[in-house]
Every structure is written in C-alpha cells, then in structure tokens.
C-alpha cells in the first residue's frame, strides 16, 4: 500500500514538474535575456503550460506517409518510459522510494542506455535525411558519454560501498561526496547534459543545421512526449546529482528532508537552464573529442585515485 | 574554461537587470515617423490621387503582393483603375515607397492590422487611399513632369520654358 | 574577311560593314541611338563613340563614331577606355538636359532605349540648371500618341517613316534648338506602317495609343509568340496578356518575313478580340436566343448527328489547319467544303499548282528586298499584303545601294547613299487599275483595266519567249522595256495574287515567270492570297461552296457545321439565304457575330487567335505555329475550335475517345493528309522542355503574382496549365536561349527596350539564331513541269453600257476580323465607288453622291470618290467593307444615279 502511494505521488510529481519546467525555463531564459517571458496566460503566465498542453493535444497527429509507422509511434514512448522508470530508484526522503534496490545505479545506467533507442529509432523511422543525421549524432553522442558517465559514478559507489541510492545518501552523513568526488561530479554533470542532449550539447537537434534533428517529422502529442521527456531527463539528472553528490534529502533539520531534496534538485535544474542561456553550441567533432580525450581519461584517473586512496585508508 | 564560467556568471547577473519588454498593448511603443507600417496611398495638395499607376511599386515588391491597372481620366491624367495590396504577403520592406516616383505610396507608423480572416487582409484602393498628403506635403508630380494631364499646361510646370514656336526663323 | 582587335581580343569579321554593326553582332554592348540595323547609320547622336588606335604602339588613340567607321583589316579599338566612357556619359547628359521627368506616366518606361542608354553610360546626376524646353503635341490619329517633349532628336522616326516606309506626312520642322518631328498640322498619320514608330522611337515620343487604353508595362506582360491572322503573309507577332485580356501586339522578329516591322493592320487589328460583337456563350437560336450551358450541349445537339444524316462541314481560310482538319474528320472528306467562292477556289488551286510545279523560286520578303527588277501585276500590295509593299519599297532602296556601291559608297552610310541618287531610278513596274502607294519609287506606272494588264503581261511574256502565247498590247514600248529589264535582271521578281481576283492577270503573271524560266533565268514569284490560311486550306481535299449549293438542290443538308466563316462574305446573299433555308440544322463556330451566326440554329463561341493554338500556312507555303496567350476560360464559354469539333465528334460517335491535346489532332492530321507530311516532328510539342522545364510566358520581373487573384481568394492557386504547348502560364521555367520559334520576349541584361532583339540574331538585321521559324511545306520542283496558260482574251464590254469593275481592297476594313477593332474602325471608309472624274461627268455623277451599282444579282449603294489615275470606263468598288454584301468582283456592272 505504501509503495502504491509512493508510485502515484512520484509519477504525478515528476510529470507535473516536467510540465512546469516548460514555463520555468521560458521565464528564466527570458529573465537572463532581459525579457519577461510568458506572462499573459493566468497569473504570472502560469497557465501557459495548460494552454500549451491543450494546444498540443488538439494538434493534428500526423504521421508522414513515408515513415515506418510502428517504430515512429513507439519511439517517443521509449524516452518517457525509460526516464520515468529511473525515478523508481531515487529516494526523495527516508523511506520514500518506490523500489530501494541494491542495484539502483546500475538500473539507472541501464535505462538511460535504453533511452538511446528512442532517439535513434525516431530518427530512423522518420525516413528523412535530417532526422537520420540527428538520430546518428544522438546515438554516437549518447553512447560515448554513457561510458564515462558510468565510470564517473564508480568513485561514489566505492566510497559508499553500495549501488543503492539510499545507502549512498546515508553514506554522506558527514561529508557530501562532491568534495572527495569533485572530478566525478564534474564528469557526471557534463555527461548528464550530453545524455539529455540539452544545450549546449543539443547537437542531435541542432536547428541551425538539421531543422529539428530526430524529431523533425513529429507533431502533436508525439512531439510533446519528446518535449516532456527532455524535461524529465533534466529533472532526473538533477535529482541524481543531488542524491549522489549533494547528500540527497540530508540537510539541517529546520526543513523536512524532501524539501532539501527538492531544493537541491531545483538548483541543478536552474543550472541546466543557465547553461542554455549562456553557452553556445560546440561543433560535433569538438564534442566527441572533448568526451574521449578529456572526460574519459579524467574519469578513469578519478576512479584509480579513489580506488588507491580507499585501499590505502582501509 | 574561465571564460565559460565568466559567461555563466554574467548571464546569471542579468537576473537583476530591468526587462526591456514593452508590455504592448497596455503600453504603446514609440514609432518613429519613418516607421514602416501600414501602407497608404496619399493625395496631392489639390486632393487628387497622387498615384499615376506607373507600376514601379509592383515591380519593386519582393513578394509581388501589389497589383494595379492604369487608367486615364478625361483630362488625360493617369490613375489606378484598381490598386490592390495583399497584406497577407506584404513584408513591410518599404521598397514600394522607395520606388514610388510621386510619393503616392507611403508606409506610416501603424502596424495594428491584424485580422481573423485572411481574406480581409486584401486591401483595395478604397481601403488604401487616405485624404491627406502624408510625409511629403506640397509635392505634385504633374508640376515636375513634362506632360499636360490637366494639372498644368505645357511649359507652365516647374523648371519649364514656354513651348517652342516651331514656325520662327530666328536663330 | 578582316582581322580586328577589340579590347585586346582578336576577331575575324566581315570587312566593309560598319563597326557598330559588327560590334553588336559580336555581342559588345555599345550604346547607340540613331543607328538602327534596318535604317543604317547617320552619325547624328554621337553616342556610339569608341576609341580607335593607329597601331599596337598607339596608347592615346582617338575617339571615332563606330557607326560611321568601316571595318578594315587591322583595326584596333577599345570600347571602355575612360575617355570614351566620359564622352558617352556627357553625350547622354546633354541629351537629357531637356528630357522631361515623365517616365512614370510614359508608356515607353521600362522598355525605353533612352533609359537603357542612360544607365549603360552611367549618367546619373543632372548638372544642367536651366529650364527645360517644351513642345506642343499633335493629335496623330487613332494609333499613335505624340509627346514631343521627350524627343532627343535622333531622326529615327523620319528616317523610318519617310525614307524607309515612304510616308509623306511626317517630317522634321523648325531649326536650331527647336527641331520638331511631326505632321505639318494635326491629323491622322496616313502611312500604313506608322505603328512601327512606337518601336523605332528610342524614347516615348510615339507610343501605342491602343495599348494605352489598357496599359501594361513590358515586364508585366505574359508574352506568347503568335502569327498575324490579318493577311496571308504570316508576319510574326508577340501577343502580350495581362489580367486575362490581350494587351498589345508587338513585332516578333522574323529574318525572312517581317524583320523589324509590322503593318498597322497587324499591329492594331488585335482589338477585335475585345469587341462587343464577340460571341462568348453557346446560343440556341430559334427566333429567339437562348444561352445553353456546356453540360447540356450534347442534349441540344443529340438530334444533329443521327445515322444516315447528310452532314456537311464548311471549312475556313482563316481557321488553323488543326481546326479545319477537326472539321474534316467530323464530317468526312466527302462532305468537307472549302469555305471560299468557286472563283477564289479555282484561282488559289491554279496559283498553288504553278508555285509547286514550275520550279520557280518562291521568295521570302527578305529576298524580295534584294530584287533588282520588280513587276507587280494587278495587286494593290499595300492593301492586300501590306508588309510586302514595304519589302518591295526596300528593293528600290537596294537599287540605290547598288548604284552607290559602284562608287565605293558603303550602303550603310544612309545619307551619302541617298545624296548619291537624288532622283530615284529603279526598275520597278507596277501595273494596276488605280494609283499605287509604290508609285513614288517605281520606274513607270501602268494604269489599265485587268484585261489590259493581262495583255501587257502577255506581250512581255511573248517578247521574252517566242513560244509563249502571242499577245497584242497597245503598249508595245512599255512591254519591251519591261521585257528587256527582266531579261537583263539578276534577281527579277514578279508579284501577283489571288486577291486581285482576275484569272487572266494571274495566268499572264505566271506566263511571264514561265517565259523567264524557259530562258533559264532565275526568277522569283511572289503570290498573295486572300486570307491567313488560304494556302493551308487549299491543300485540304474538298470542294468549293458552289458545289455544295448545287448539290443541296438535290439532296437537302440535315446538319451543316460552319467553321469560323461568314458565308455571306463568300457568296451572294440570295444564294446563301436559299441554301441555309434548305439546311435543317445549322451549327456555326465563330468568334464574332455576323450574318451567318444570326441564321444559325446553334452558335458555338470559338476562341480567337490569342486564345488558341494552331498552324497557319502563309503565302510562301511556310507553316507557322501560333500559341495561346490567354489561358482557357477567360472569355466565357469560348473554346478553341478543335475542342468544339472534338466534342461534336464525341457526341456523334459514341466510341470516339477524343483528342486530348492539339498535338494529337496535329498527329492524326499528318497521318491522314499527305500534303502536310513535311511538318512531321518539326514543331516543338507539349513535351518540349529546356533543361527539363517549360518556357515561361511571363518575364522574371512579372509583378503582382500574389495579388492578382487575391480579391477572389487570398489562397493562391496553381497557375493555369497549358497542355498544348511548350509554354507555361507562369514565370517558372527556362527563359534563356529558347528555340527561335519560341521566343517570348526580347530582353538581355542592360537592354530592356526592343533593341534587345539584336541579341537574338546572328547579326543585326540578319536571321534569328538557330534559323528563322516556320517550315516551308512546298517541295520545290527541280524542273519546270508547267506550261503556258492559254488566255481567252478579254471580252470587250464597249457599247454594252456596262462598266468594268475591279475590287478595291482597303488595308483597314476589307479584312473581316480586324475590321471589328475599335481603333481601326476610325480609319475604315464608307463603302465607295472609284470613278474617273471625266467618266463621272459624262454620266452626270457628282463627287460624294450615292450611286447604285448593280453587279449580277446584287445591288449596292456606294458613295462616289473621284480618282484621276483610273483608266476610262473602269471603276473600282471597295471590297467587303463593313456593311457590304458579297459581290463577284472583278466583273462588269451597271452604275445608276440615285
């Protein structure tokens, strides 16, 4: 019964946060660009999300005649499902988690790998050169950053001696892991941006060159699923950063634990949006080079050093 | 690396800047006198149509949204029989105004032309012609031109000699 | 050949021509005004300055006028030296000192040679601070608008009008800075080629008054190549359309036919397409008129095509080959009748037979210009084939050139050539009943009735060849002069035609030609036919109208289909009335209402030339295509004749699938009629593409694309499609370098005016690049297979009290369609009778009174005009002016005072 309630709460909260982020991002971006952003629909423009939802549901759900229909329909669903499933392992507060698995991190890594399929299949099934190029870029980019995203987390796992998110949070009672694992944090954060293909790493959908990349042919709610999926990805990565490196729900007791968790998460969501506001998009080869030549060695060194230090201490 | 962080910081600081947005329609923006908005056809100081249907605006129009037909009045004066601008195509570039040799077509500081029905964006002459001279008062093309089309007789225009006497034998 | 160097590049060119001509031929953009390829150079505008260098070492050079500089071997020039550029800019600047600020209201704007030259030379700022000179304009009649302020004194207008076309009422007046080009007083320009002033004038002094009524700029016209349908010469024209109506007709250069110039009938006759008389609906007539929708047409006509019905079709010499063929295919060969009188039918067959079998050279108009001896028999050229009169006039010029050439005066130095021969001495002989427009350039006129003309020609033939039938003319001296001239000529030309209507004149003209052929002389024979497709129709199987009238006595006609033909112009009123009464159902396809359409049971609106496509065969046997300028459906229910006939055939034969395009009709015509076999594959069909695209009718600067139809619907629809031709009704497609028959506009960067024509020619005044359009379908017989015609000798009508009457054609009015043009109607005379004043006095008839003329069964009321040049007892009757019934002319008749 407890689990069922948790599931419902997590699902509702995550989806509303993701949807609300549409408004948050537009408002924040506007502020950083000296504009106002959506402010007409409802108080502070908050109903903009609702208006957008209504609009997107009423749009013609069009499938191009040249597309591979079945795959075309499945692709956007995959991104939603994999991201949502990952939330199952993240504790929002003590004992507030859907499934406190011993292998939480592995599950998360697994699901995010599966997320690649969504983009690749969307690009391929659209049967359109821009989509295909977007899909190919996305797969290369995500597979690359997947590798050291995993490795960068191993330092944390070693220090906490567990793959369970709850255990890792508890292991940060005395010191948040971003201090000993700063390198790991940096690598994971950057890999996280690439994994969600957010700006500045939105190369798969670079509108200046690929129209809209893998989702060029999508419209209506199918496009909406990609859209919401992206915001859920941001929320997920932010939540994981907060959990693994910044002590999750831990914090001074004048606020309840889940508030701390959300505060930390929202902080990183804000950073995501700030990155979008401030940074230009690198070239595709620069992105790959940066990944393989800098981040990958860095994460390996971090792993070795952590291992050596731990060995030395124990 | 430093520059990236500095960029982010500077961007972040914009959180505390004043917004540039003008909250139209509560606040009306300032439009300069030469703002390129609504297109009108003007009249000269005698309140006659300035347009002489020379077709230069139509030729200059990059979206080909102007069409007209020349006609001739009883005194030979040329005017457009019809003059149509399809504002659903117009991009308000102002090339028609620049091309106009008679200052007839002018772009004025008004942009509030929204319609719910696209068909209503097709303006005919009666929708375009205003009862005023617009930006260039006192210009009358026919006083500059050599033709006699009811405005002035031959040789009575600005900068014109009296008509030549072809019968004279004087040197 | 001469080697010359222009801007450091070597060229090998023809020596002796002028340098400007050569530079234009080579594609250099040399600014010029007064030079016109057909008019030669006079060196008056000073704009075509180039720099000439003494030798390779010479770096200073000197400025010369390229139009006055002969091309010699080793010539070195530059075309864009700083000094000469400044010179040219200053010339234009001085020409512009008095040019008014008129461009926006000037009809020439956008295709103005002066605008082009001003831009080309780079003059852009007026420094002249004084007042502009002005002139009063003149009223020059229904065709030409005069705006003298715009003149830059290049003299092109008088050089064309006076020197080239022989006009007498346009000249240059006054002196000093007051030079004036116009008439002595206000009045209509009388010359038949006045319309060319609009193209010859490099600015807007002379502009097209008819086009002014519905003025459209050049860039806004959707142009389609067309062929003039108002006489048998087949001059090429450009039909310009905008907003679904025909806006103007312009000359389309054809190196062999019209060159740079058209006649006024061809240029201004187009206005009939907008006449109030146009038929635009299907009418069912039975005492009253009822409009029928196209859907219910098959119901209306269902009874017309039953089995066993006697169905008859009457073709037309002014309808295209395809339309005539569609009719033939509907009614069958045995029931197809040429819609011409028996007399015309016979003469046409005879003339064509001689042309095809005698092995004679059938000249193009261009070739006629080079003839040294010309004999014109019976034909009033300027009225029956106007453009040919202009060509013959150039033959006179040719003789001047030859004379000057002997004295080493180059033929392009226009003024020197003229001064060399102040009194024209040519070898042109004109034998006509009345004074002729060419009289001022001919050696000796001969005035006589047709029988005397035939006698004169016969004695010329007899003098040339002893085997020719002997003849006896009273004018032995003239006959022997002509015979001698022809015998010694290098390039003799004989002109006659079916239009004069006299069998003997035609036969004797053929006899003269035959005599020269028998002497192994090279000889050209120019034939004139009455209508635009007379030649084409006569190549069809079929019988004349008279046969039909005769057979209808025995076997009444159940269904009669008349194609674009007013029977009341082909036979006497009573005869036609009788015949139509015997026809149970009469279906008429025509463009304009006429007496035949009034009598019809069903009238189908036929498309005019600008709305249809088809092939016409001109007087020299040249088949040419005209294309539709206006998309279907712009003129009510009017459709192309072949489409109507196709529909009738579908109604008649249930199994008939119909032709889907004009190409289908044309194909099956070629298969069925061997006379046209030579045309197989010669015309670009609908599938023709350049670089995969159609040829656009609209210029690339066509304006208003998104606005023209916006009033009806703001959503833009596709442009209309053309399933019959290689053209698109849009600006999309391949515009550059089309085949010569498919040129839609003359334009080249920097050349917006009609002078851009030169860019489409192999050399100025030469042939179109890729050959002149049209296919000559007459196989030329290698050896003469014809023999002399035996003339019956004239029947004297002395003592019978009857007059010899001959037809007087009028350029304005005698042709059926153009007579409905509003501007032409001002020039159309009232039906008249030409009488010698002495004859009139004898008969007690005063000038300008009405008389009754009785010819056969027809009685006409005509106004008497005196004509001094007429021979006695011969009178001229105006032919088929509006309001006149058919009369059999030439013939004899009675004249009675009223």
Tokens of A58: 């009423």
CA distance B13 to chain C (A): 48
Which tokens is A47 given?
A: 């109903």
pLDDT confidence bin for C897, thresholds 50/70/90: confident
Chains adjacent to B (≥3 CB pairs closer than 8 angstroms):
A, C
Q: Tell me what pLDDT residue A228 has.
A: 85
* Shortest Cα distance, chain B CAs vs residue A11, angstroms: 32
Per-residue pLDDT tens digits for A211-235: 777 888 888 888 888 888 888 888 8
Would you call B14 and A31 a contact, using CB atoms and an 8 Å cutoff?
yes
| C contact chains, 3+ CB pairs < 8 A | B
Confidence of residue B129 (pLDDT cuts 50, 70, 90): very high
Between CA C751 and CA C747 the distance in angstroms is 6
C813 in contact with B, Cβ within 8 Å: no
Residue from A44, A277, A281 whose CB has the most chain B CBs within 10 Å, to mutate: A277
| Exposed/middle/buried for residue C319 (C-beta within 10 Å: 0-12, 13-18, 19+) | buried
Residue from C677, C420, C371, C395 nearest C524 by CA = C371
Instruction: Determine the Cα–Cα distance for residues C372 and C395; give it in Å rounded to an integer.
Output: 7
* Three-state secondary structure call for residue C239: strand
pLDDT in tens, C643-674: 999 988 888 887 777 888 999 999 999 999 99
CB within 8 Å of chain B, chain C residues 528-547 = none
Q: Is B18 on the interface with A (CB under 8 A)?
A: yes
Which chain C residue shows the shortest CA-CA distance from B62? C703
What does C570-588 look like in DSSP terms, one character per residue? Answer: TS-HHHHHHHHHH-SEEEE
End-to-end CA distance of chain A: 42
pLDDT of residue C532: 93
Residue B77 DSSP label = -
Instruction: Determine the Cα–Cα distance for residues C852 and C894; give it in Å rounded to an integer.
Output: 8
Confidence at residue A201, expressed as pLDDT on a 0 to 100 scale: 81
Of C298, C297, C333, residue with least CA distance to C312: C333
- Among residues C260, C256, C267, C278, the alpha carbon closest in space to that of C231 is found at C267
Give the residue extent of every domain in chain B.
32-144
> Strands of B78-86's sheet, edge to edge?
B66-72, B78-86, B122-123
Does residue C150 belong to the interface with chain B, where contact is any CB pair within 8 Å? Answer: yes
Q: How do the residues of chain B divide into helix, strand and coil, expressed in percent and rounded to 5?
A: 20, 20, 60
Interface test with A, best of B16, B21, B24, B26 (most A CBs within 10 A): B21
Please report residues of B whose CB lies closer than 8 A to that of A38: none
* Chain A neighbours, 3+ Cβ pairs < 8 A: B
pLDDT digits (tens, 9 = 90+) for C840-874: 888 888 888 899 998 888 888 999 999 999 998 89
- The pLDDT tens digits of the residues spanning A242-251 come to 888 888 787 7
Q: Any CB–CB contact under 8 A between B119 and chain A?
A: no
- CA-based nearest distance A73→chain B, Å: 35
Interchain pair B146, C710: CB under 8 A? no
Contact list in B for residue C131 (CB cut-off 8 A) is 159-161
* pLDDT of A27: 87
**What are the φ/ψ torsions at residue A13 (nearest 5 degrees)?**
-65, -45
* Architecture label for domain B32-144: 2-Layer Sandwich (3.30)
Region A254-262: mean pLDDT is 84
Q: What is the CA radius of gyration of chain A?
A: 20
- pLDDT surpassing 90 at residue A256: no
Tally Cβ neighbours within 10 Å of residue B17: 11
pLDDT digits (tens, 9 = 90+) for C302-349: 777 877 788 999 999 999 999 999 999 999 999 999 999 999 999 999
CA distance C46 to C43: 6
Helix (H) or strand (E) holding C356: helix C342-357
Share of chain A above pLDDT 90, in %: 0
Pairs of residues, one from chain B and one from chain C, whose beta carbons lie less than 8 Å apart: 139
pLDDT band at C529; cut points 50, 70, 90: very high
Asked whether the predicted pLDDT for residue C797 surpasses 70, the reply is no
Considering only the beta carbons, identify the residue of B70, B85, B86 that sits closest to C215.
Answer: B70
Confidence grade of residue C794 (pLDDT, cut at 50, 70, 90)? low
* B22 interface with A at CB cutoff 8 Å: no
Considering only CB atoms, which chain B residues are within 8 Å of A33?
14
Q: Using a CB-CB distance cutoff of 8 angstroms, which residues of chain B are in contact with residue C180?
A: 164, 166
Could you tell me the pLDDT band of residue C407, with boundaries at 50, 70 and 90? confident
pLDDT for position C796 = 52
The pLDDT, as a whole number, for residue C219 is 93
Question: Given A34, A274, A275, which is nearest B19 (Cβ)?
Answer: A34
The number of residues in chain C equals 898
The answer to whether A and C touch (≥3 CB pairs < 8 Å) is no
**How much is the ipTM here?**
0.88
Indicate if the pLDDT at residue C717 is higher than 90: no
pTM value is 0.83
Q: Which residues contact C439 (CB under 8 A, 6 or more apart)?
A: C430, C445
Q: Is C876 helix (H, G, I), strand (E, B) or coil?
A: strand
Ramachandran area for residue C787 (φ above 0: left; ψ -120 to 50: alpha; else beta): beta
- pLDDT tens-place string over residues C489-510: 999 999 999 999 899 999 999 9
pLDDT reported for residue C400: 84
pLDDT, tens digit, 9 for 90 and up, residues C431-440 = 999 999 898 8
Q: What is the mean pLDDT of residues C563-592?
A: 92
Kindly provide the b/e burial profile for residues C193-203, where b requires at least 16 CB atoms within 10 angstroms of the residue's own CB: bbbbbbbbbbb
- Write out pLDDT tens, residues C353-368: 999 888 899 999 999 9
Does the structure show a pLDDT above 60 at C795? no
CB atoms A31 and B18 under 8 Å = no
**Taking a C-beta distance cutoff of 8 angstroms, is the pair C357, C621 a contact?**
no
Distance CA C171, CA C182 (A): 6
The DSSP symbol for C649 reads H
Checking DSSP bridges between strand C49-53 and strand C76-78, what pairing results, if any?
antiparallel
| Residue in chain B nearest A270 by alpha carbon | B12
Q: In sequence order, which residues have a C-beta less than 8 Å from that of residue C362 and are 6 or more positions away?
A: C355, C524, C525, C526, C527, C620, C621, C776, C778, C780
| Mean pLDDT computed over every residue of chain C | 90
Neighbours of C888 (CB within 10 A): 18
Instruction: Give Dmax over CA atoms of chain A in angstroms.
Output: 63
Least confident span in B7-21, C96-110, C148-162: B7-21
Q: Among B14, B16, B20, B23, which would you mutate to test the A interface (most chain A Cβ atoms within 10 Å of its Cβ)?
A: B14
- pLDDT tens per residue, range C718-754: 889 899 999 999 998 888 888 999 999 999 999 999 9
Asked if A33 lies within 8 A of B15 by C-beta distance, the reply is no
User: Span C79-85, mean pLDDT?
Assistant: 90
The answer to whether A274 contacts B12, with C-beta atoms less than 8 Å apart, is yes
Question: Do β-strands C9-13 and C49-53 pair in parallel, antiparallel, or remain unpaired?
Answer: unpaired
The mean per-residue pLDDT over the stretch C874-891 comes to 89
Helices A220-245 and A257-278: crossing angle, nearest 10°?
A: 120
Domains in chain C with CATH codes: 2-96 (3.10.20.740), 277-300+308-340+531-672 (3.40.50.740), 359-529 (3.40.228), 803-897 (2.40.40.20)
Q: What is the pLDDT of residues C257-283, one digit of tens each?
A: 999 999 999 999 999 998 999 999 999
Estimate the share of chain A in helix, then strand, then coil, as percent rounded to the nearest 5.
75, 0, 25
DSSP string, C764-787: TTSPBTT--S-EE-SPPPSS----
Indicate the residue of C131, C180, C710 with minimum beta-carbon distance to B86. C710
Q: How confident is the model at residue A194 (pLDDT cuts 50, 70, 90)?
A: confident
Q: Do chains A and B touch (3 or more CB pairs under 8 A)?
A: yes
């Amino acid at each position: 019964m407890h689990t069922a309630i948790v599931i419902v709460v997590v699902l509702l909260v995550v989806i509303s946060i993701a949807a609300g982020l549409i408004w948050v991002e537009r408002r924040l971006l506007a502020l950083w660009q000296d504009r106002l952003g959506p402010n007409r629909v409802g108080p502070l423009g908050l109903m903009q999300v609702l208006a957008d939802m209504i609009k997107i549901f009423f749009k013609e759900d069009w499938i191009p005649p040249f597309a591979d229909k079945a795959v075309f329909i499945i692709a956007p669903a995959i991104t939603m499902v994999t991201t949502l499933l990952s939330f199952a392992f993240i504790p929002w507060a003590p004992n507030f988690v859907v499934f406190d698995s011993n292998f939480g991190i592995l599950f998360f890594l697994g699901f995010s790998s599966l997320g690649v399929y969504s983009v690749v299949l969307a690009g391929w099934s659209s049967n359109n050169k821009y989509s295909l190029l977007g899909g190919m870029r996305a797969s290369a980019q995500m597979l690359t950053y997947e590798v050291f995203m995993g490795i960068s987390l191993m330092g944390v796992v070693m220090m906490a001696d567990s793959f369970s998110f709850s255990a890792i949070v508890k292991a940060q009672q005395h010191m948040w892991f971003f201090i000993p694992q700063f390198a790991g944090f940096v690598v994971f954060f950057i890999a996280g941006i690439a994994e969600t293909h957010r700006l500045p790493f939105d190369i798969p959908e670079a509108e200046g060159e690929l129209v809209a990349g893998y989702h060029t042919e999508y419209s209506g709610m199918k496009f909406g699923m990609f859209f919401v999926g992206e915001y859920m990805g941001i929320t997920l990565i932010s939540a994981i950063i907060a959990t693994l490196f910044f002590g999750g729900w831990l914090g001074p007791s004048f606020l309840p634990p889940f508030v701390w968790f959300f505060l930390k998460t929202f902080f990183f969501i804000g950073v995501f949006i700030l990155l979008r506001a401030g940074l230009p998009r690198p070239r595709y080869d620069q992105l790959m080079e940066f990944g393989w030549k800098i981040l990958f060695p860095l994460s390996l060194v971090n792993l070795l050093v952590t291992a050596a230090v731990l060995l030395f201490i124990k | 690396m430093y520059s990236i962080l500095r960029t982010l910081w500077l961007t972040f600081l914009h959180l505390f800047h004043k917004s540039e947005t003008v909250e139209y329609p509560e606040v009306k923006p300032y439009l300069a006198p030469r703002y390129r908005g609504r297109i009108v056809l003007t009249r000269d100081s005698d309140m006659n149509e300035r347009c002489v249907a020379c077709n230069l605006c139509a030729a200059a129009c990059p979206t080909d949204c102007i069409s007209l037909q020349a006609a001739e009045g009883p005194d030979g004066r040329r005017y457009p029989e019809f003059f149509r601008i399809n504002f659903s195509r117009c991009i308000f570039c102002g090339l028609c105004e620049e091309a106009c040799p008679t200052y007839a077509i002018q772009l004025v500081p008004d942009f509030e032309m929204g319609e719910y029905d696209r068909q209503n964006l097709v303006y005919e002459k009666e929708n375009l012609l205003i009862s005023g001279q617009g930006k260039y008062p006192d210009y009358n093309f026919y006083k500059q031109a050599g033709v006699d089309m009811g405005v002035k007789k031959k040789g009575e225009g600005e900068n014109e000699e009296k008509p030549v006497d072809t019968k004279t034998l004087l040197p | 050949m001469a080697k010359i160097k222009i801007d450091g590049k070597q060229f090998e060119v023809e020596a002796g021509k002028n340098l400007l001509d050569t530079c234009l031929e080579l594609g250099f953009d040399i600014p010029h005004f007064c030079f016109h390829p057909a008019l030669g150079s006079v060196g008056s505008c000073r704009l075509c300055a180039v720099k000439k260098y003494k030798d390779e070492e010479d770096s200073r050079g000197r400025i010369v006028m390229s139009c006055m500089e002969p091309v010699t071997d080793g010539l070195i020039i530059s075309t864009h030296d700083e000094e000469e550029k400044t010179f040219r800019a200053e010339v234009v600047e001085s020409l512009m000192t008095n040019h008014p600020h008129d461009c926006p209201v000037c009809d020439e704007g956008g295709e103005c040679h002066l605008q082009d030259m001003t831009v080309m030379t780079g003059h852009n700022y007026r420094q002249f601070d004084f007042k502009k000179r002005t002139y009063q304009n003149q009223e020059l009649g229904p065709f030409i608008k005069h705006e003298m302020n715009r003149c830059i004194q290049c003299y092109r207008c008088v050089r064309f009008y006076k020197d080239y076309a022989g006009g007498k009422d346009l000249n240059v007046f006054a002196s000093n800075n007051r030079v004036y080009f116009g008439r002595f007083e206000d009045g209509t320009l009388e010359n038949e080629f006045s319309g060319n002033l609009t193209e010859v004038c490099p600015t807007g002094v002379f502009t097209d008054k008819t086009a002014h009524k519905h003025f459209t700029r050049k860039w806004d016209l959707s142009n389609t190549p067309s062929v003039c349908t108002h006489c048998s010469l087949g001059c090429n024209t450009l039909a310009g359309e905008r907003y679904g109506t025909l806006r103007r007709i312009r000359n389309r250069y054809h190196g062999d036919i019209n060159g740079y110039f058209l006649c006024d009938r061809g240029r201004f006759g187009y206005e009939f397409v907008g006449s109030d008389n146009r038929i635009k609906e299907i009418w069912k007539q039975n005492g009253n008129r009822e409009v029928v929708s196209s859907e219910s047409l098959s119901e209306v006509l269902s009874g017309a095509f039953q089995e066993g019905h006697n169905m008859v079709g009457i073709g037309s010499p002014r309808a295209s080959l395809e339309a005539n063929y569609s009719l033939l295919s509907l009614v069958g060969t045995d029931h197809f009748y040429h819609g011409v009188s028996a007399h015309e039918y016979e003469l046409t067959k005879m003339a064509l037979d001689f042309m095809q079998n005698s092995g004679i050279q059938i000249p193009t108009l261009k070739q006629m210009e080079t003839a040294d001896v010309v004999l014109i028999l019976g034909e009033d050229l300027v009225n029956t084939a106007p453009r040919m009169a202009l060509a013959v006039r150039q033959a006179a010029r040719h003789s001047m050139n030859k004379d000057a050439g002997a004295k080493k005066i180059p033929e392009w130095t226009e003024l020197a050539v003229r001064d060399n021969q102040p009194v024209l001495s040519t070898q042109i002989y004109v034998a006509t009943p009345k004074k002729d427009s060419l009289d001022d350039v001919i050696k000796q006129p001969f005035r006589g009735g047709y029988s005397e003309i035939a006698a004169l020609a016969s004695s010329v033939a007899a003098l040339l060849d002893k085997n020719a039938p002997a003849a006896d003319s009273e004018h032995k001296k003239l006959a022997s002069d002509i015979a001698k001239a022809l015998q010694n000529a290098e390039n003799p030309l004989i002109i006659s035609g079916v239009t004069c209507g006299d069998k003997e004149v035609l036969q004797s003209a053929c006899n003269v030609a035959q005599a020269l052929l028998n002497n192994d002389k090279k000889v050209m024979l120019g034939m004139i036919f009455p209508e635009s497709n007379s030649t084409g129709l006569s190549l069809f199987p079929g019988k004349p109208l008279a046969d039909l009238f005769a057979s209808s006595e025995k076997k009444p006609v159940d269904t009669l289909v008349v194609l674009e033909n007013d029977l009341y112009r082909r036979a006497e009123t009573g005869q036609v009335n009788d015949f139509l009464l015997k026809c149970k159902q009469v279906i008429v396809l025509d463009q304009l209402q006429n007496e035949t359409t009034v009598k019809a049971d069903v009238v189908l609106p036929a498309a005019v030339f600008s709305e249809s496509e088809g092939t016409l065969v001109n007087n020299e046997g040249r088949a040419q295509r005209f294309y539709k300028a206006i998309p279907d459906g712009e003129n009510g229910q009017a459709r192309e004749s072949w489409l109507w006939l196709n529909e009738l055939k579908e109604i008649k034969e249930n199994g008939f699938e119909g032709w889907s395009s004009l190409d289908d009709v044309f194909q099956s015509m070629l298969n069925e009629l061997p006379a046209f076999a030579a045309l197989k594959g010669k015309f670009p069909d609908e599938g023709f593409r350049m670089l995969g695209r159609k040829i656009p009718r609209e210029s690339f600067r066509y304006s208003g694309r998104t606005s023209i139809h916006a009033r009806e619907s703001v959503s833009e629809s596709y442009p209309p499609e053309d399933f019959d031709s290689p053209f698109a009704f849009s600006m999309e497609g391949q515009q550059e370098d089309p085949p010569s028959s498919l040129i839609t506009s003359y334009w080249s960067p920097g050349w917006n005016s009609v002078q851009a024509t030169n860019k489409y020619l192999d050399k100025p005044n030469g042939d179109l690049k890729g050959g002149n359009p049209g296919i000559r379908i007459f196989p030329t017989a290698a050896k003469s297979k014809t023999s002399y015609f035996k003339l019956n000798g004239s029947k004297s009508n002395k003592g019978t009290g009857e007059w010899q009457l001959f037809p007087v054609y009028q350029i304005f009015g005698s042709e059926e369609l153009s007579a409905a043009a509003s501007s032409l109607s001002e020039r159309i005379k009232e039906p008249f009778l030409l009488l010698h004043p002495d004859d009139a006095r004898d008969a007690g008839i005063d000038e300008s009174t009405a008389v009754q003329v009785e010819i056969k069964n027809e009685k006409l009321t005509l106004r008497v005009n005196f004509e001094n040049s007429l021979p006695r007892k011969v009178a001229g009757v105006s032919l088929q002016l509006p309001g006149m019934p058919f009369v059999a002319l030439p013939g004899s008749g009675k004249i009675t005072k009223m």
